[in-house]
Amino acid sequence: MNDDHVDSKGDREDALSRITVIHTLGPAGTNLEKAAHHWLAERGIAGEVVLHAEVEDGLDAMAFDSTEAILACAVYPRLHDLVFQNLHRLEMADSFILDTHDMVLAGRRDRTAVSTIVSHPAPSSLVAERGEITLASSNSRAAALCAAGQYDACVTTGPAAAAEGLRLIENFGPVPMIFTLHIGRNRGEGRVAGSGSTC
């Protein structure tokens, strides 16, 4: 191992240690919320997780001073836009694998037939051909829409289904997921060591 590698790793860890706020997808009960709290806890940071209706909404609320970040995941449908449309102010600086909450198909308690299903785009294929699928902005939002009576069932997380009082129809279990952390920085700041390659 050469000295440059040691310095780069040290610089990267220093940059990550400055993060105190993570912006990610809400409402409460999303896999991204779970992952954000996990990332802070693993690093012993008493930080704040701020939830938004869309991942990109964090861009309008965050400080670009290297203390705030956005958390996304590898299956987020617009991850490429988040990265490449924000190269001037966001830098992907970390990634990790964490199991999601149990992903479930849940339904209203007052309805047993399932013909309409609401789901975030990412897990919607879990219920392909099981009903008419409408897309929602998050797993937790799908649960809220179902509970409000707009749909017969939803694909959501176990905690979101429980919070909305939905009945379990099928449990698909947890999914090992890659989560990505994107630090907000000023254009003039240096790049986080060890980042900068594209696939």
pLDDT tens digits, 6-35: 447 778 888 999 999 999 999 999 999 999
pLDDT of residue 155: 98
**Nearest C-alpha neighbor of 51 from the set 73, 70, 64:** 70
Tell me the C-alpha distance between 55 and 121, whole Å.
Answer: 14
Question: Cβ atoms within 10 A of the Cβ of 163, count?
Answer: 17
pLDDT of residue 199: 47
pLDDT of residue 54: 93
pLDDT of residue 3: 42
What pTM was computed for the model?
0.86
**pLDDT of residue 162 exceeding 90:** yes
pLDDT digits (tens, 9 = 90+) for 37-84: 999 999 999 999 999 999 999 999 999 999 999 999 999 989 999 999
pLDDT of residue 1: 42
Tell me the C-alpha distance between 166 and 108, whole Å.
Answer: 5
pLDDT digits (tens, 9 = 90+) for 79-123: 999 999 999 999 999 999 999 999 999 999 998 899 999 999 999
Percentage above 90 pLDDT, the chain:
83
| Contacting residues for 81 by C-beta, under 8 A, at least 6 apart | 56
pLDDT of residue 37: 98
| Contacting residues for 123 by C-beta, under 8 A, at least 6 apart | 103, 139, 155, 172
Q: Is 72 helix (H, G, I), strand (E, B) or coil?
A: strand
* Residues 19/93, Cβ–Cβ less than 8 Å: no
Percentage above 70 pLDDT, the chain:
89
Total residue length of the chain: 199
| Contacting residues for 150 by C-beta, under 8 A, at least 6 apart | 118
Sheet holding 167-173, edge to edge: 132-135, 116-119, 153-157, 103-107, 167-173
Q: Residue 193 half-sphere exposure, CB side, CA atoms within 13 Å? A: 13
Segment 122-131 shows an average pLDDT of 94
